[in-house]
Structure 1
Amino acid sequence: MLKIVVIGGGPAGMMAAIAAAAHKEHQVILLERNEKLGKKLFITGKGRCNVTNNKDIGEFFENIPRNREFLYSALYSFTNEQLMAFFRERGLELKVERGDRVFPASDKAFDVTDVLKEELLRRHVEIHYRTLVTDLLLEGRKIKGLVTNEGQIRGDWFIFAGGGASYSGTGSDGTLHRLAKRAGHRIIDMKPSLIPLVATDSFPKELQGLSLKNIRFTLVEKGKTKFSDVGEMLFTHFGVSGPLVLSASAYYQGGNATGIIDLKPGLQEQELDLRLQKDFLKFQNKDFQNSLHELLPSKLIPVIVRLSGIAPDKKCNSISKGERQQLVKLLKGLEVHITGAKSLNEAIITRGGVDIKEIDPSTMKSKLVDNLSFAGEMIDVDAVTGGFNLQIAFSTGYLAGGSL
């Protein structure tokens, strides 16, 4: 019999404990520092819990900016289809929304946590709440036990699944990374990912709260396009946010960059120019500032008028071809000058963590410590928004627990 101790009651830790407990000869203990399991799950997907994505599992790798090859074994050992079947077989109905995002049909994150908790109890996993691990008992290449606020806990095998270093109020404050480092592991610097971006321009503050749908957001750094996709974004008092920007931030390296907003991605420049000609003909006797209400949200019009350089009170029938073409370029390439991101504690996930070179990708076992495995956000892997990160957590957890 193996006594397996899983540290962290998030999605990776719960799935690791469930998979480990599938072997009835194992005694599995799950340690959670909070008063309940899955605390971070309650804030994912705006409280609805975007459990995974319905794309073909082969397409997942396109949405993982770094270290995607490391995840082949995990994602193919426990696919999104297997995860969805896991929940459905236990009575949780799921639904697929825009971008192939998968949510519980109830739109309630705690329904997801309830299924996982019930399965843990069914498999006789011993759950310890309010248990904070503060140190390791090390002997050579092995962990002999843990020092916690509840005393020492001995074990034969340990799975670290304590999350990243964002949203520290949920318990993922980097504590286990420090202990992994003490055990000899290299920790890649942890930075924010899936995070709003800060801009120097003044107009985002004017547009604060304005959400734009069906636009293209492109992130350019040092002359190279790092990210480009169509979807939804949001202006804030400090810069830009929303699904597109959060995904773009997964590719952002820091420092100066440019966000390019194509307000009309469905139209080529020539087609947009024709559209403007029709509108200007229709409103030929109106001032320019009063001619864009059929093309743009009202809150955005004063900003576009100002940035276009065309006098607000200029009559539409007096606008020159050159002015119109400059307007087209602005509508197809509104630039936001980015200088940084919000703080790590505001990030949805953490970039960085335990170096993948020191973990066996086929088992999630440490190459340095003989009885240690890792799962979830502790590892230096992260993806864009859309359910991909939770799938990574569940898949690495399943592989870590199932490989023992």
Structure 2
Amino acid sequence: MAHPVIGIIGGGPAGLFCAANIRPQGFRIILFEKKREAGRKLLITGSGRCNLTHGGDIRKFEQHYGEKGAFLKPALRGYTNREIIAFFEERGCPLYADENEKIFPVSEKADDILSVLISACRENNVMIRQHTPVRAVERTSTGFLIQTEWQNIRADILVIATGGASYPSTGSTGDGYRFAKSLGHTITAIGPALAPVYPDKYPFSDLAGISFDEITVSILREGRVARKVTGDLLLTHNGLSGPVILHASRYIRDGDSLRIAFLPEKEHNTIASSITLGSAAAGKRLVKTILSDLPLPARFIQRLTEEAGLSPDCTVAHLSREKRKELLRLLTGWTFLIKSVGGFDQAMATRGGVSLEEINNKTMESRLLPGLYCIGEVLDIDGDSGGYNLQAAFSTAYAAARSISGKIETVSDI
């Protein structure tokens, strides 16, 4: 009997990790990478430092993928963050956790992570065909036909590990969606995720670099709050960024607005009382002086008073009821119409992808076509920043590798 062939499309972290973990021997693994070198997107993660995973409790990881966390539960529990750490450290790549429990290589070089993956594939006799873009895939009576520019290759098992559509210069151009769709799978609408947000009439261009800790951002849709996210925010020259914005971007749709509480909404009454008491006790005090007692940057407070239409010498005594309400609104619920979300060239991840309803969440095998697997970002999964997306890539890759190994053993026993 000829050795079974496993074709893996995509030389990113999911594809490489899957190829490296397929067991036992007696098969051929061929990995197709469209670029001249595998792992190009991995090299830019974490600004080149490669945030592999997060050091927290794996049981709490699910909440970092929104409503898709339930789908990932078996894969995350089947191959945890601790096992990922052990995989790399046992192969001579020590890791460390930063103050936010993000896991990085001690060298802070993504190259070292990629080297481990490539070496593990070589040890597993994986044939890595770089600079070999796949043009199309077909279902055959005995498996799959993988069509490249130069030849067609028949495979008993096919793994789609092409990533999403973010950072297309690295090779993630959405090919996997096309392949999966051609094989009968449903593709949920894709869009940029973990991207900056660009408000209409942005008022903070000259305040770039100012940041805020643990503030709440609400996504408003048709007059209602569609989602609330809490985290750190960063003002840039042309828009909003920082973890809270990156996370919120996954849920933003056309026509949405952002409402930002630069101070906690629960402090609304406290802030209102301080301004009112200030009016009664020291009406001659400047409004900007009263506001300077708040835990906010001075330059931001100045812009706040300008946006509220207050003159620099406005005293608390001359602060009308309407102006006081406007100040409170800006402090606890400044609303911005969203002009756009950063495109795929800026997004760290892609939302949408192969419908999870059509994938077995214990094995990552297609429920429609036996022998077809979808892993990593090609699935309709996107997680928070902080190592959660790579964790999902590794965990789904391992689930597929374990399932494929079981299929090979079954064939070998016949």
Question: What TM-score results when the alignment is normalised by the length of structure 2?
Answer: 0.86
Supply the distance in 2 between the matched residues of 1:155 and 1:338 (Cα, whole angstroms): 46
Distance verdict in 2 for CA 1:335–1:137, change over 3 Å: closer
Number of the residue aligned with 1:118:
119
Cα deviation code 1:214-243 (max 9, x no counterpart): 433232323443443433222345432221
Cα deviation code 1:88-142 (max 9, x no counterpart): 2222222223443222232222221122122112222221111111122432473
Distance verdict in 2 for CA 1:223–1:79, change over 3 Å: farther
Supply the distance in 2 between the matched residues of 1:35 and 1:320 (Cα, whole angstroms): 66
Deviation at 1:69, TM superposition (A): 2.5
Supply the distance in 1 between the matched residues of 2:389 and 2:259 (Cα, whole angstroms): 26
Deviation at 1:397, TM superposition (A): 0.8
Does structure 1 residue 371 correspond to structure 2 residue 371?
Answer: yes
Supply the distance in 1 between the matched residues of 2:124 and 2:64 (Cα, whole angstroms): 33
Number of the residue aligned with 2:7:
5
Whichever residue aligns with residue 371 of structure 1, its letter is: G
Supply the distance in 1 between the matched residues of 2:238 and 2:200 (Cα, whole angstroms): 8
Secondary structure at 1:264 match in 2: coil
Trace 1:252-271 onto structure 2 (pairs within 5 A): 252=252, 254-265=253-264, 268-271=267-270
Number of the residue aligned with 1:15:
17
Deviation at 1:151, TM superposition (A): 2.1
Does structure 1 residue 185 correspond to structure 2 residue 188?
Answer: no
Deviation at 1:288, TM superposition (A): 4.1
Whichever residue aligns with residue 6 of structure 2, its letter is: I
Cα deviation code 1:116-174 (max 9, x no counterpart): 1221122222211111111224324731x312134222322111100111211111111
Supply the distance in 2 between the matched residues of 1:283 and 1:34 (Cα, whole angstroms): 68
Supply the distance in 2 between the matched residues of 1:328 and 1:373 (Cα, whole angstroms): 53
Deviation at 1:40, TM superposition (A): 0.9
Does structure 1 residue 48 correspond to structure 2 residue 52?
Answer: no
Whichever residue aligns with residue 383 of structure 1, its letter is: G
Trace 1:179-218 onto structure 2 (pairs within 5 A): 179-218=179-218
Trace 1:208-357 onto structure 2 (pairs within 5 A): 208-252=208-252, 254-265=253-264, 268-272=267-271, 287-289=286-288, 292=291, 295=294, 296-315=296-315, 319=319, 326-357=326-357
Deviation at 1:263, TM superposition (A): 2.2
The 8 Å contact of residues 138 and 183 in structure 2, kept in 1 or not, is answered as no
Trace 1:85-164 onto structure 2 (pairs within 5 A): 85-140=86-141, 142-143=143-144, 145-164=145-164
The 8 Å contact of residues 141 and 369 in structure 1, kept in 2 or not, is answered as no
Supply the distance in 2 between the matched residues of 1:192 and 1:87 (Cα, whole angstroms): 30
Deviation at 1:206, TM superposition (A): 4.2
Number of the residue aligned with 2:409:
none
Whichever residue aligns with residue 2 of structure 1, its letter is: P
| Identity in percent | 34
Number of the residue aligned with 1:383:
383
Secondary structure at 1:198 match in 2: strand
Supply the distance in 2 between the matched residues of 1:79 and 1:316 (Cα, whole angstroms): 56
The 8 Å contact of residues 142 and 369 in structure 1, kept in 2 or not, is answered as no
Whichever residue aligns with residue 232 of structure 2, its letter is: E
Number of the residue aligned with 1:79:
80
Distance verdict in 2 for CA 1:282–1:389, change over 3 Å: farther
Secondary structure at 1:67 match in 2: helix
Secondary structure at 1:46 match in 2: helix
Cα deviation code 1:16-59 (max 9, x no counterpart): 10111x31223222221122221111222222212112222221
Distance verdict in 2 for CA 1:87–1:281, change over 3 Å: farther
Q: Structure 1 stretch 185-194 or stretch 159-168: which is displaced more?
A: 185-194
Deviation at 1:264, TM superposition (A): 3.0
Supply the distance in 2 between the matched residues of 1:308 and 1:177 (Cα, whole angstroms): 48
Q: Structure 1 stretch 158-167 or stretch 326-335: which is displaced more?
A: 326-335
Number of the residue aligned with 2:408:
none
Aligned length: 401
Whichever residue aligns with residue 91 of structure 2, its letter is: R
Supply the distance in 2 between the matched residues of 1:83 and 1:257 (Cα, whole angstroms): 38
Supply the distance in 2 between the matched residues of 1:364 and 1:179 (Cα, whole angstroms): 16
Q: Structure 1 stretch 216-225 or stretch 186-195: which is displaced more?
A: 216-225
Supply the distance in 2 between the matched residues of 1:397 and 1:174 (Cα, whole angstroms): 18
Deviation at 1:394, TM superposition (A): 0.6
Secondary structure at 2:189 match in 1: strand
The 8 Å contact of residues 20 and 124 in structure 2, kept in 1 or not, is answered as yes
Whichever residue aligns with residue 338 of structure 1, its letter is: I
The 8 Å contact of residues 65 and 250 in structure 1, kept in 2 or not, is answered as no
The 8 Å contact of residues 194 and 349 in structure 2, kept in 1 or not, is answered as yes
Supply the distance in 2 between the matched residues of 1:110 and 1:279 (Cα, whole angstroms): 58
Whichever residue aligns with residue 246 of structure 1, its letter is: L
Unaligned residue ranges in structure 2 (runs of 5+):
405-414
Distance verdict in 2 for CA 1:255–1:204, change over 3 Å: farther
Distance verdict in 2 for CA 1:222–1:291, change over 3 Å: same
Secondary structure at 2:146 match in 1: strand
Whichever residue aligns with residue 260 of structure 2, its letter is: I
Distance verdict in 2 for CA 1:388–1:224, change over 3 Å: farther
RMSD: 2.9
